[in-house]
């Protein structure tokens, strides 16, 4: 497993009444797997922060002793000392740092400093623990509202305009849970890696969601053909795939590729972009942002990057297919005006729309982009903001699935998917068409 630990600690007086909080997330999806908090009596801020780190690492170890872990904290002192860049001068900190290093193999843990506003969940847990201590009580996970409170701090969007039904949240496990509960949490994470069959869907013309037979059966670099669980291959490179928000053409189901006009996001699409940005900021796992150069993707990517404090890189090979003369038409209109070309395009991945780009050509450039980005961002979590066709192709290639498998893929505007790529060349689809953030 690849996990993220968010930890914090605080003292009301420094030294004074102190407590810590820690959260463990799945690195690819951001799902909360465990949370813990404790009142520790009178201590300094730094001691409380180290205690939060130790508790978070222990919670990660309880989920998977072989996990790779990225620790994210707003304590510059702890991050720099544990990374080995700062000396530990205070004698009281040395035993705590040594204890933290002993929880998991040092090579399995990396450290990242984040701004305080991106560590609100752990901060809330620490404050809940201190509040419980003041009342003479022990922090209880069943009474915690830290996750909900942290989410409420994020900007909201008009859910009516987004028209997406709510999805019930999954309550986090806790380090106080039984062994059975921890095993269930591990099983839930592993289950996300299992390929699930989908019901057939009709092709969607809007945004390039076209007939899935029009995809090449090119050789797979990351085909996911291996079976079972192999040795630890280190931290995978994870692509979090975000389809852009709606444009004016999307609800009309018109071909919208890269060969015609370059539409902007509609008001609903801008709201979807902000909702995706809030969700990704809450997960806190994205380290880089790369987008298609088309306006609708850049607008979506910039909304996320602004929330994360990152910059947007563009990659020409992530653009949508060029639908040529079909741009702006509905599927029925294209069939009426160009019946032979449309029939050939549906039957042969090498056939192109009238004056446009074949799906065989799209697949070649998407593979180019995949390989280039995997090399550039090795071991990191990268957000790719792109279109229906590139995302479906990346998922299909990761699964090693035949072209017709794309009949079973539905990809909504501003939906999130995720693919983890491992050092042995295999890939694991961790998430697909997640729209819970749009509720």
**Catalytic annotation, pick one of 35, 49, 244, 357:** 244
Answer yes or no: 244 catalytic.
yes
Summarize pLDDT for 69-92 with one digit per residue, the tens. 999 999 999 999 999 999 998 888
Number of neighbouring beta carbons within 10 Å of residue 91: 7
Higher pLDDT, 60 or 219: 60
Amino acid 160: pLDDT: 32
Summarize pLDDT for 390-434 with one digit per residue, the tens. 999 999 999 988 776 766 788 999 999 999 998 878 899 999 999
Amino acid 13: pLDDT: 85
**pLDDT of 152 over the 70 cut:** no
For the chain, the first-to-last Cα distance in angstroms comes to: 29
pTM greater than 0.85 (yes/no):
no
The correct CATH number of 237-438 out of 2.60.40.1940, 3.40.50.2030, 3.40.50.300, 3.40.50.1240 is 3.40.50.1240
68-73: strand order across its sheet? 109-113, 68-73, 2-11, 16-26, 32-43, 173-174
**Catalytic annotation, pick one of 320, 327, 357, 367:** 320
Q: Would the annotation count 296 as a binding residue?
A: yes
Amino acid 154: pLDDT: 47
For domain 2-150, give the fold.
Answer: Nucleotidyltransferase; domain 5 (3.30.420)
**pLDDT of 46 over the 70 cut:** yes
Distance CA(373)–CA(416), nearest Å, equals: 18
The domain ranges of the chain are 2-150, 237-438
Summarize pLDDT for 130-141 with one digit per residue, the tens. 999 988 889 988
Mean pLDDT of 6-27: 92
Answer yes or no: 387 catalytic.
no
Mean pLDDT of 247-260: 87
Summarize pLDDT for 342-353 with one digit per residue, the tens. 888 887 778 889
């Amino acid at each position: 497993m690849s996990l993220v630990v968010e930890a914090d600690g605080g003292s009301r007086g420094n030294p004074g009444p102190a407590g810590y909080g820690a959260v463990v997330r799945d690195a690819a999806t951001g799902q909360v797997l465990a949370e813990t908090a404790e009142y520790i009596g009178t201590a300094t801020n730094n001691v409380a922060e180290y205690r939060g780190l130790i508790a978070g690492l222990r919670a990660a170890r309880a989920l998977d002793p072989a996990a790779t872990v990225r620790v994210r904290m707003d304590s510059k002192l702890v991050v720099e000392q544990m990374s080995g860049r700062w000396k530990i001068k205070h004698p009281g900190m040395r035993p705590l740092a040594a204890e933290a290093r002993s929880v998991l193999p040092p090579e399995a843990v990396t450290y990242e400093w984040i701004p305080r506003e991106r560590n609100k969940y752990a901060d809330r847990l620490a404050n809940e623990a201190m509040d419980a201590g003041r009342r003479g009580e022990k922090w209880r996970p069943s009474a915690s509202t830290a996750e909900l409170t942290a989410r409420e701090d994020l900007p909201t969007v008009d859910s009516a305009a987004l028209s997406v039904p709510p999805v019930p949240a999954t309550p986090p496990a806790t380090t106080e849970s039984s062994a059975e509960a921890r095993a269930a949490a591990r099983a839930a994470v592993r289950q996300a890696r299992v390929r699930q069959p989908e019901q057939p869907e009709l092709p969607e013309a809007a945004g390039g969601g076209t007939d899935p037979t029009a995809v090449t059966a090119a050789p797979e670099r990351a085909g996911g053909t291996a079976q079972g669980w192999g040795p630890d291959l280190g931290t995978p490179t994870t692509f979090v795939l975000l389809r852009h928000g709606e444009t004016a053409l999307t609800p009309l189901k018109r071909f919208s590729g890269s060969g015609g006009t370059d539409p902007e996001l509609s008001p609903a699409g801008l709201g979807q972009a902000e909702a995706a940005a809030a969700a990704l900021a809450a997960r806190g796992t994205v380290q880089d942002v790369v987008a298609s150069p088309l306006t609708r993707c850049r607008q979506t990517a910039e909304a996320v990057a602004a929330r994360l404090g990152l910059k947007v890189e563009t990659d020409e090979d992530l653009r949508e297919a060029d639908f040529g003369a079909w741009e702006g038409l509905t599927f029925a209109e294209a069939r009426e005006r160009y019946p032979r070309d449309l029939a050939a395009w549906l039957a042969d991945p090498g056939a192109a729309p009238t004056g446009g780009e074949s799906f065989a050509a799209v697949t070649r450039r998407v593979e180019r982009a995949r390989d280039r980005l995997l090399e550039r961002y090795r071991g990191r979590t990268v957000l790719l903001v792109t279109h229906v066709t590139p995302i479906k192709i990346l998922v299909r290639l990761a699964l090693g699935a035949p072209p017709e498998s794309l009949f079973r893929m539905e990809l909504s505007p501003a939906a999130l998917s995720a693919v983890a790529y491992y050092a042995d060349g295999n890939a694991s689809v961790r998430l697909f068409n997640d729209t819970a953030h749009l509720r």
